């Protein structure tokens, strides 16, 4: 843990003209945390906005877009949420990346790149930290603030299913439901509704899946062509990385996605036998113990070889 909730609350009480940054390929936790924090700061009478994120998808747009800065807004205080390092901050926010005033994050790999930092690696979602902050600040958890917190907690834990879920995650969710959040409808939209593109890409994923290490490692590849054919966007691909691990006997699921710039994004999901973060650290990435990722600056086939090597090294007990 870096920093304390009370220190962060103190810093926020003194701040104003605030801009909140979310991370690249924004997910439910960065957008939910940003939305909830922005609302909480406004409830305190502060001017607070969320920087527009060029990669925002329709699934999470409603959480941040209403809080885009007005013309001519010049921030005096910058907060990043759910960003493990400056590299996770999108290029369009580069002007702020090197001088973040307050970093709020739950990635264990975060070394604290802000002037002030609140990093709680034991929290499953950054949104849980936002919940504690609002309590420390004495801001009542209304339905609107709670919705962002719930979305963050729910999406970062696979709807409370993954092993990163703690009793704190459940207690935060309980508070959100008590505040009037309609968890069932939110989860249906986030987890239960599948677009046709999603179904098609899942079909491709299964038919092309390859197995290694006595069936303990499953590798799935999402090509640029598959994305074009199905019309799948980042929304359609959300949480698809969890699929290879679903197959009986699989301990490490590697999902590789060809990016438009020629790089390959890798998402690693593991069972309790293997440390996903250790695998990704070996190739320059990072993350959590059961869910981690990296971006490899090479084509997919080369990335597969490098990821299999890294996975085998972790199986042998080697670390970075």
Q: Could you list the residues that contact its own copies (CB under 8 A)?
A: 159-168, 170-171, 173-175, 177-178, 182-185, 187-188, 191-196, 199, 206, 242, 245-248, 271-272, 290
- Tell the smallest beta-carbon distance from residue 290 to its own copies (Å): 7
Contacts of residue 310, defined as CB under 8 A and 6 or more positions apart, other chains included, come to 279, 280, 282, 283
- Tell the smallest beta-carbon distance from residue 47 to its own copies (Å): 33
Kindly give the interhelix angle for 126-136 and 28-43, rounded to the nearest 10 degrees: 10
Nearest to 50 by CA among 67, 73, 27: 67
Contacts of residue 129, defined as CB under 8 A and 6 or more positions apart, other chains included, come to 5, 33, 104, 105, 106, 118, 120, 123
Decide whether 22 or 157 has the Cβ nearer to its own copies.
Answer: 157
Nearest to 55 by CA among 92, 86, 84: 92
- Tell the smallest beta-carbon distance from residue 44 to its own copies (Å): 26
Decide whether 184 or 262 has the Cβ nearer to its own copies.
Answer: 184
Alpha-carbon distance of 221 to 232, in angstroms, equals: 14
Cα separation values, 273 from 64, 247, 249, 289, Å? 37, 15, 11, 10
- Do residues 269 and 277 touch, judged by C-beta distance below 8 A? no
- Tell the smallest beta-carbon distance from residue 270 to its own copies (Å): 11
Decide whether 69 or 242 has the Cβ nearer to its own copies.
Answer: 242
Alpha-carbon distance of 230 to 227, in angstroms, equals: 5
Decide whether 76 or 177 has the Cβ nearer to its own copies.
Answer: 177
- Tell the smallest beta-carbon distance from residue 155 to its own copies (Å): 12
Decide whether 191 or 320 has the Cβ nearer to its own copies.
Answer: 191
- Tell the smallest beta-carbon distance from residue 241 to its own copies (Å): 12
Decide whether 240 or 304 has the Cβ nearer to its own copies.
Answer: 240
Kindly give the interhelix angle for 126-136 and 5-14, rounded to the nearest 10 degrees: 70
Decide whether 193 or 301 has the Cβ nearer to its own copies.
Answer: 193
Instruction: Report DSSP letters for 79-111, one per residue.
Output: EEES-SSGGGS-GGGHHHHTT-SEEEE--TT--
- Tell the smallest beta-carbon distance from residue 166 to its own copies (Å): 6
Decide whether 137 or 190 has the Cβ nearer to its own copies.
Answer: 190
- Tell the smallest beta-carbon distance from residue 95 to its own copies (Å): 39
Alpha-carbon distance of 294 to 224, in angstroms, equals: 18
Alpha-carbon distance of 181 to 161, in angstroms, equals: 19
């Amino acid at each position: 843990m870096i920093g304390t909730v009370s220190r962060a609350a103190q810093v926020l009480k003194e701040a104003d003209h605030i801009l909140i940054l979310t991370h690249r390929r924004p997910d439910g936790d960065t957008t939910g945390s940003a939305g909830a924090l922005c609302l909480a700061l406004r409830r305190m009478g502060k001017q607070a906005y969320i920087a527009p994120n060029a990669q925002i998808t329709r699934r999470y747009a409603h959480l941040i877009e209403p809080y885009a800065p007005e013309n001519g807004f010049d921030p005096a205080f910058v907060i990043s949420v759910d960003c493990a390092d400056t590299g996770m901050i999108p290029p369009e926010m580069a002007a702020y990346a090197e001088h973040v005033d307050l970093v709020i994050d739950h990635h264990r790999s975060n070394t604290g790149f802000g002037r002030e930092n609140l990093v709680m690696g034991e929290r499953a979602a950054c949104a849980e930290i936002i919940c504690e902050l609002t309590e420390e600040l004495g801001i009542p958890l209304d339905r609107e603030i709670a919705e962002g917190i719930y979305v963050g907690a729910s999406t970062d834990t696979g709807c409370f299913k993954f092993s990163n879920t703690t009793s704190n995650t459940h207690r935060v969710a309980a508070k959100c439901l008590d505040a009037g959040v309609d968890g069932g409808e939110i989860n249906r939209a986030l987890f239960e509704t599948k677009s046709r593109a999603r179904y098609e890409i899942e079909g491709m994923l299964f038919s092309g899946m390859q197995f290694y290490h006595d069936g303990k490692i499953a590798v799935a590849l999402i090509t640029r062509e598959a994305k074009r054919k199905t019309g799948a966007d980042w929304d359609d691909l959300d949480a698809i990385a969890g699929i290879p691990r679903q197959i009986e006997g699989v301990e490490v699921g590697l999902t590789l996605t060809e990016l438009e710039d020629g790089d390959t994004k890798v998402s690693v999901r593991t069972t309790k036998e293997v440390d996903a973060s250790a695998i990704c650290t070996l190739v320059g990435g990072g993350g959590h113990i059961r869910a981690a990722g990296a971006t490899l600056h090479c084509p997919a086939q080369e990335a597969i070889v490098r990821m299999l090597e890294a996975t085998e090294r972790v199986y042998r007990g080697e670390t970075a």
